[in-house]
Chain A
Amino acid sequence: MSQSFVLDGKGIPFEDGQTILQAAGNAGVFIPHLCFHPEFKPHGSCKLCTVKVNGRHTASCTMRAMPGMVVESNTEELNGERRALTQMLFVEGNHFCPSCEKSGNCQLQATAYHLGMMSPHFDHFFPNRAVDASHPEFLLDFNRCILCSLCVRASRDVDGKNVFALSGRGIKTHLIVNAKSGRLADTDFSLADKAASVCPVGVILRKRQGFAVPIGERRFDKAPIEASAKEA
């Protein structure tokens, strides 16, 4: 007989080594997440996937499923906390969806829709962050970085290049390019890199492709993010 745990009152089967997030995804139950990607080792930093396991908060992308666990996820309390985290991500950067070519394909935006985020609630930081348009094929718009580290992990672990890194600590943490000049053009970053296609928001953008698919016909225009549970 297979093993299972209880998620929001429903039995979820799992295999040894699977995390709560993976097992829920296999069962078609969506748990919001931003820094998790099925092809990478979990990072556990965005905290959007936080659930309560036997009454205690924990990141479901790093917590292994165990038989008999009682897990809460889709509750008013947890979704409220997720919404507050998402609002903080929005006010800490410069997320102006009307002028972003990732709009409609953006996981941050789709997650905010899913959580019913009607306003940023907090005061905006309006940080001053320069863009890097030095690379012939790619634009980096740091205004939209949510520090998920997926590009860092992809470039280091898959591409073997180490093009990106997170620098600084705490509120000063920011994404940097590993080149003496700090410019993407002075790295060996290329179109074929995994890191070129892994950004969940609008930081790493391929030039001259922005509106190949028009607004209104994009991924999350067609179906909300909760419909993609199985991709976890």
Chain B
Amino acid sequence: MDAPRKLKVATTSLAGCFGCHMSFLDIDERLFTLLEHIEFDRSPLTDIKHVSPGTDIGIIEGGLCNAENVHVLREFRQNCRILIAIGACAVNGGLPAQRNHLPLPVILEEVYHTSPGLANGLIPNDPELPLPLNKVHPIHEVVKIDYFIPGCPPSGDAIWKVLTDLLAGREPELGHGLMHYD
């Protein structure tokens, strides 16, 4: 009999700091066990640039701060059976959303024009650069998200718990000690 098909997993960081990916690597040697059950598709770990159709699990770190983030998120939703929001920024906007009470032009003005030490600063406008959104949004405000792993970042143990629950066909559950918003 053939071995069961490995689940295809894609990951990305949108408006995040890659801290959740670092925390994912904190599952340490359990990565080897995981790799018996999954293979990576698009991910900073593989450098594959696009999500393959029929991907089983998409893991999204970070919220939405620019147009490219929205584009990537939609590509994940279109191609992944299960989408998981990982970390505070994906769940509620997190640190990048601290700019939300300021108008975007005021922020750009301060960062590129009026901060001390800036001489003749220009607001970057290269067409290659994605346009910033007026506000930073958590990802569930734009596409349907199936599961959430809160935390800044969630611990390796919390990520392991959710992934092993899913692989075993159980509803993921974080109890006391694994459930953290900070």
Binds B, one of A18-26, A37-45, A109-117, A186-194: A109-117
**Is B88 in contact with A116, judged by CB distance below 8 angstroms?**
no
Asked if B114 CB lies within 8 Å of chain A CBs, one says: no
Q: Which of A79-133 contact B (CB under 8 A)?
A: 90, 94-100, 103-104, 109, 112-113, 116, 118-121, 123-124, 126-129
Contact A119 B94 (CB under 8 A): no
Are the CB atoms of B92 and A96 closer together than 8 Å? yes
A98→B140 CA distance, assembly (Å): 19
Q: B82 contacts which chain A residues (CB < 8 A)?
A: none
The answer to whether B71 has its CB under 8 Å from any CB of chain A is no
A90 — which chain B residues lie within 8 A by C-beta? 92
CB pair B182 A119 closer than 8 Å: no
Which of A98, A123, A128 makes the CB contact (< 8 A) with B182?
A: A98
Chain B, residue nearest A120 (CB): B92
Does B58 make an interface contact (CB < 8 A)?
no
Q: Bound state CA distance, A201 and B138, in angstroms?
A: 23
How close is A142's CB to chain B, nearest CB, in angstroms? 12
Q: Mark B121-165, 1 if CB is under 8 A from A, else 0.
A: 000000000000001011011000101111010000000000000
**Given A97-B88, A98-B152, A123 and B141 contact (CB-CB distance below 8 Å):** yes
Contact residues in B for A98 (Cβ distance below 8 Å): 88, 94-95, 152, 181-182
Given contacts A97-B152, A109-B181, contact A118 B101 (CB under 8 A): no
* Shortest Cβ gap from B153 to chain A (Å): 9
Contact residues in B for A223 (Cβ distance below 8 Å)? 176
Point out the residue from A94, A119, A127, A215 that lies within 8 Å of B85, measured CB to CB: A119
Residues of A in contact (CB 8 Å), total 27
Interface of A is mostly: loop
The A-B contact count (CB < 8 A) is 67
A residues in contact with B148, CB < 8 Å: 118-119
Q: What string of 1s and 0s marks CB contacts (under 8 Å) between B56-99 and chain A?
A: 00000000000000000000000000000100100111110110
- Which residues from A are CB-within-8-Å of B179? 113, 116
Chain A nearest CB: distance from B131 CB in Å? 19
The CA of A118 and the CA of B138, in the complex, are separated in Å by 13
A124 and B182 contacting across the interface, CB-CB below 8 Å: no
A128 touches B138 (CB 8 A): no
Complex CA–CA separation, A4 to B97 (angstroms): 50
When the two chains form their complex, are residues A119 and B91 in contact, meaning their CB atoms are under 8 A apart?
Answer: yes
14 A-B pairs in the complex with CB atoms less than 8 angstroms apart: A96-B97, A98-B94, A100-B182, A113-B176, A116-B173, A119-B140, A120-B91, A120-B140, A124-B97, A124-B137, A124-B141, A126-B93, A128-B101, A223-B176
Nearest 3 pairs between A and B by C-beta?
Answer: A97-B181, A98-B152, A128-B101
